[in-house]
Structure 1
Amino acid sequence: MTHLEADVLIIGAGGAGMYAAIEAARQGAERVLLLDRSLIGRGGATVMAQMTVAAAVGAGDHWEHHLADTLTAARGLADPSLAALLCEAGAECILEMDEWRVGWARAGEGFAAVQAPGHDRARCVYVDFLNTGPAVSRTLRAQVQRVGPAIRRLGEVAVTDLVVQDGTVTGAAALHVASGEALTIAAPATIIATGGLTRLYARNSASANMSGDGYALALRAGATLVDMEFVQFFPIGHLAPRLIGMDPIMWDPFRYKLGGRLLNGAMEDFLDRWGGDAEQGRYSTTRDLATYAITKENEAGRGSPHGGAWLSFTHIPEAELRAAFGPVVDKLAANGIDLTRDCIEVSPIAHYHMGGVRVDTRMRTDVPGLLAAGEAVGGANGANRLSGNAITEALAYGRTAGREAARMAAAGPVRGFAAGAALDLLRAQGPVANTAAMVARLQRVMSADVGPFRTAAGLDRAAAAVAELQAELGVAPPGAPGQPHDLARLDWLDLRQMLLVAAAVIRAARAREESRGAHQREDFPEMREEWRMNQLLRGEGLALSCQAVPA
């Protein structure tokens, strides 16, 4: 298995990738190849999501109301057409998932829904408060199987480069991790559905394969990235005490359902001190403001013992806690946490990326043959993603990309495929290197100087550190090719992508001299109207330009 051919190649098998595969097959593509770094449907962000999904499917709601809230959260930088597609097609996908028996919770004749921060009404649906993402992934996996032989699934494949011939993407080169062999795939339509870049940070909420691969693949192929500076930090990621076998972002739905209180080290409410609402029993402060408030309380010396904030449910009666948390109460007890008695510590954690590959409303990039879907896409969420929009975006954009890819594939197979330099890299042998230690160094650099709050001096330090790591990395992966499960070699290939993506984030963050949404410059603390524009990056040299926000 050294060369494969497909009508549609999908890189990444999370929510966006699986929906794309289903739709491409439904639209007539007979050979859909679904690749993933891990097992199909069990890696990425969708399967880890334990919260809610925003969709205007309730009585009295409409996707245009959802769109208005999405654009407000985006702080003036969203592409309205992409945001509208997210909201309108997303609602259709939620209804189709219901037909596929995902198990959305019910309230009477309709869906049960909660009102998450930034929404004007209750429109965030769920399966249950700890199982929404796994249920979505399980349902999509089952649907992929029902489609049958049109979809071929292949796990443990790390795509390292897209193959570009005469300006058109004609497939990819990859490492088959289980065997250590190089693999090439020819396809007239390729979809990047690799998710975000949270692995760049030491504390993050997604699976370990979210290294920003798709952004690097797109750049090297000649596609454009947009708004790479906007990394969303989830404000209340679990910090302490130690929590085993549970998602670090599990607290959010319980906080806004039950009114969990955020308190500083002196056990005082503090969100209104930093521009948030005086919450009075209900969670209403958006993620960027909550992140800002927690960080500033710590800088003022009022943080919790481990450098975060206290989250307290001690004012909630035990019966109400059990009704809301169910078996989670017992899982927490096994971790030594009694919510009727104990506060837990939370702090910001890298969670999502608003920027990404620039596409049109059919998910086409500016390179023929290449599309993108899900979190890999930039533009819809502007400077700050609205709570609940991530899975909606994955489903809506996956379906759209799959439909367009099938149309592109109908033109016929790739002719004269040649991978060239991409294969040479996979077959090269470089000196032994501690690549895991280098990954950890990059994560520390990004967390320290390219986190929620940035300065010119910190970004310059980060840029220098990334350049030093790039020089140290060299031009060839360590060890001999062809070794199964060679993690040092895989980490080298990951670092090659991660360093390019980190440099892209730093470049865009250094240029944007204002604070807006998830990008906060402490040396430019105000949002400035002249910066109401999108930043574009092109090529491995990261040529930067600006454009007006689409009307």
Structure 2
Amino acid sequence: MEITTPLETDVLVIGAGGAGMYAALEAAKAGADVILADRSLIGRGGATVMAQMTVAVALGEQTPDHWEHHLADTLAAGRGLCDEKLAAILCEDGPRRIREMDDWKVGWAREDGHIKQVQAPGHDRPRCVYVDFLSTGPAVSKTLRAQLNDANGVRRIGDLLITDITVRDGEACGATALHVSSGRIVPIAAKAVVIATGGLTRLYRRNSASSNMGGDGYALALRAGAELIDMEFVQFFPIGHLAPRLVGMDPIMWDPFRYKLGGKLLNAEMREFESDYATRDTRSDGRYVLTRDLATYAITKEVEAGRGTPAGGAYLSFQHVPPEEIRRAFGPVVDRLAANGIDLAHQPIEVAPIAHYHMGGIRVGETLETGIAGLFACGEAIGGANGANRLSGNAITESFVFGALAGHRAALKAKQRPIPSLDAANSAVDFLRSAEQRDAPNVAASIVALQSLMADYVGPFRTEDKLRIAIDRLAEMTRDLGDRPLVSSSGSFDPVLIDWLDLRSMLLVAQAVALPALSRTESRGAHQREDHLGLDDAWQLNQIVAMTDRGLDIKTAKEKAAA
């Protein structure tokens, strides 16, 4: 493989979703030269651009509110595992970022001259803002891209797959990348590095993520020597679209319909069942509206009891809502649904849980710096703020808040350091150059097999037997993968090499989920053990994952203050 001329920058931001773009903007505002790198198009990949829902923030525009009320709801959703300092930063700085986006003309919906705020499960009052119920993420991403167009000092480089963080004497000093289309190796020297690569939901067969959300950032952090936290907590969105076929629309689009129009979850007997699973602490308004972990549990249990729909989920019905009210609430969306053969006034649709978000991630302190000096992380790539279960609406808020904070702090760190030199001896470069053609399992098929394994054995409801099967199979797949990258006979763009690198990271991250899931012998938040029902006070602990010469090491910590 050819090596390009090394790149140099003050701050390297890896990942160009909402968090990465915000980090790049704030780092540049603080005077840093920035490279914003992404394996796909800048501002077009990741989770933010796909988000169609609402953004939680204590603006108090329509209902009296304070960030401490938002914090209380966030901590309650986190089931005792939130890093309270990180959660407080999220809730306190949220209003400033939402108003900043408003100044940038993102187009938050308004009512009577105020930014409109609506109710969502887990919140004690209407708190969530939106652009419109199906375009919030695209509007946010477009706004951030426009800000980047006007920013000075940000080089945007797409098609760049970061394979390893460069660490020297305990400090991050850059990265090694593969330029996907040309197949060339790109060394990057940086005074500070920000990981903003999002989550890991691509590990699962049914997911709502972009195709590049396979846990790249977690693997980068582990191999660099940083720690991960709360990796067992994967949030499954309870009402991902299942049937009939839906083309060109997001599979998790049904939440706003459900909230705004009072959609009912029905089993095969056409009986509403949410109240069967509700407890006093899950009521967010006058109706039973289950939090996401409990709604996932309810649908799964209805299916297991033989009360599932033909496609294996539950019905979501709006047949009790007058057709004119459906159209008044969602207008053009109704026409898009009709093009898919869906008439909400006369038929229910089928929904089922879908992997949607990851509460865990890279362990950081209050400045969002990891245990490796000069290595920061933000957005869904970090763990701690959400504990065992993320409160509805917090995802985009954290991409803004933590993206801005990580970019600012990385720029300050960069001012304290000279540009690092890149050694001629670079193990990451040597690793890529060791790529070879050989007989090996089909890596694309292996990714599909991994997704099925995680869905069936490390999904929403776990047992010791299932987890041990998964861990053994993951170890076997890792051995089969081999130690050297696999290439095809193509010269530049090589999908076999890309899949091999992806599978390498996905297998490492899958083990980082399965191992602490086996250790946690209780059910808490999004981690549900069918052989260990209910909370165990002894497990009000965070699990920390680190990489050693022997493999992954798991330890526990009480993460009530920042790491």
Relative to 1, partners in 2 of residues 1:337 and 1:281: Cα closer, same or farther, differing over 3 Å? farther
Aligned partner of 1:495 in structure 2 is 503
Q: Taking every aligned residue pair, what percent have the same amino acid on both sides?
A: 62
Relative to 1, partners in 2 of residues 1:480 and 1:435: Cα closer, same or farther, differing over 3 Å? closer
**How big is each residue's C-alpha offset from its partner over 1:463-488, in whole Å with a ceiling of 9 and x where there is no partner?**
01111110111112222698332111
Aligned partner of 1:545 in structure 2 is 555
Relative to 1, partners in 2 of residues 1:482 and 1:411: Cα closer, same or farther, differing over 3 Å? farther
Query: What is the deviation of 1:427?
Result: 1.5
**How big is each residue's C-alpha offset from its partner over 1:121-147, in whole Å with a ceiling of 9 and x where there is no partner?**
111000000100000000000001111
Spell out the pairing of 1:183-194 with structure 2 (5 A cutoff).
183-194=186-197
Question: Using the alignment, how far apart are the partners of 2:322 and 2:359 within structure 1?
Answer: 38
Question: Using the alignment, how far apart are the partners of 1:151 and 1:498 within structure 2?
Answer: 30
8 A contact 1:181–1:482 mirrored in 2: no
Relative to 1, partners in 2 of residues 1:76 and 1:281: Cα closer, same or farther, differing over 3 Å? closer
2:305 pairs with one of 300, 307, 332:
300
Spell out the pairing of 1:360-399 with structure 2 (5 A cutoff).
360-399=365-404
Relative to 1, partners in 2 of residues 1:370 and 1:33: Cα closer, same or farther, differing over 3 Å? same
Query: Partner amino acid for 2:552?
Result: L
Query: What is the deviation of 1:106?
Result: 0.4
Spell out the pairing of 1:58-77 with structure 2 (5 A cutoff).
58-59=60-61, 60-77=64-81
Question: Using the alignment, how far apart are the partners of 1:279 and 1:23 within structure 2?
Answer: 35
Aligned partner of 2:343 in structure 1 is 338
8 A contact 2:204–2:455 mirrored in 1: yes
Query: What is the deviation of 1:110?
Result: 1.2
Question: Using the alignment, how far apart are the partners of 1:205 and 1:429 within structure 2?
Answer: 32
TM-score under structure 2 normalisation?
0.95
8 A contact 2:59–2:65 mirrored in 1: yes
User: What 5-or-longer segments of structure 1 have no aligned partner?
Assistant: none
Question: Using the alignment, how far apart are the partners of 1:413 and 1:437 within structure 2?
Answer: 45
2:54 pairs with one of 48, 52, 55:
52
Question: Using the alignment, how far apart are the partners of 1:99 and 1:525 within structure 2?
Answer: 48
User: What 5-or-longer segments of structure 2 have no aligned partner?
Assistant: none
Question: Using the alignment, how far apart are the partners of 2:553 and 2:59 within structure 1?
Answer: 42
**How big is each residue's C-alpha offset from its partner over 1:408-455, in whole Å with a ceiling of 9 and x where there is no partner?**
111233333236110112112232541110000000000000000000
Spell out the pairing of 1:162-311 with structure 2 (5 A cutoff).
162-275=165-278, 282=287, 284-311=289-316
Structure 2 SS opposite 1:75: coil
**How big is each residue's C-alpha offset from its partner over 1:484-542, in whole Å with a ceiling of 9 and x where there is no partner?**
32111101000110000000000110000000000000000111000001110111521
Aligned length: 549
Query: What is the deviation of 1:283?
Result: 6.1
Query: Partner amino acid for 2:213?
Result: M
Aligned partner of 1:38 in structure 2 is 40
8 A contact 2:376–2:410 mirrored in 1: yes
1:438 pairs with one of 438, 446, 451:
446
TM-score under structure 1 normalisation?
0.98
Aligned partner of 1:129 in structure 2 is 133
8 A contact 2:174–2:189 mirrored in 1: yes
8 A contact 2:120–2:284 mirrored in 1: no
Q: Where does structure 1 differ by over 4 angstroms across 4 or more consecutive aligned residues?
A: 276-283
2:435 pairs with one of 386, 408, 429:
429
8 A contact 2:122–2:283 mirrored in 1: no
Relative to 1, partners in 2 of residues 1:278 and 1:395: Cα closer, same or farther, differing over 3 Å? closer
1:357 aligns with 2:365: no
Spell out the pairing of 1:100-111 with structure 2 (5 A cutoff).
100-111=104-115
**How big is each residue's C-alpha offset from its partner over 1:131-186, in whole Å with a ceiling of 9 and x where there is no partner?**
000000000000011113x0000001111111111111111111110111111111
8 A contact 2:82–2:387 mirrored in 1: yes
Query: What is the deviation of 1:4?
Result: 0.5
1:457 aligns with 2:465: yes
1:400 pairs with one of 405, 408, 431:
405
1:535 aligns with 2:543: yes
Relative to 1, partners in 2 of residues 1:343 and 1:281: Cα closer, same or farther, differing over 3 Å? farther
Query: What is the deviation of 1:282?
Result: 4.5
Structure 1 SS opposite 2:388: coil
8 A contact 1:478–1:488 mirrored in 2: yes
Larger deviation, residues 273-282 vs 104-113: 273-282
Relative to 1, partners in 2 of residues 1:333 and 1:506: Cα closer, same or farther, differing over 3 Å? same
Structure 1 SS opposite 2:501: helix
Relative to 1, partners in 2 of residues 1:339 and 1:438: Cα closer, same or farther, differing over 3 Å? same
8 A contact 1:47–1:134 mirrored in 2: yes
Question: Using the alignment, how far apart are the partners of 1:281 and 1:54 within structure 2?
Answer: 20
Structure 2 SS opposite 1:413: coil
Aligned partner of 1:514 in structure 2 is 522
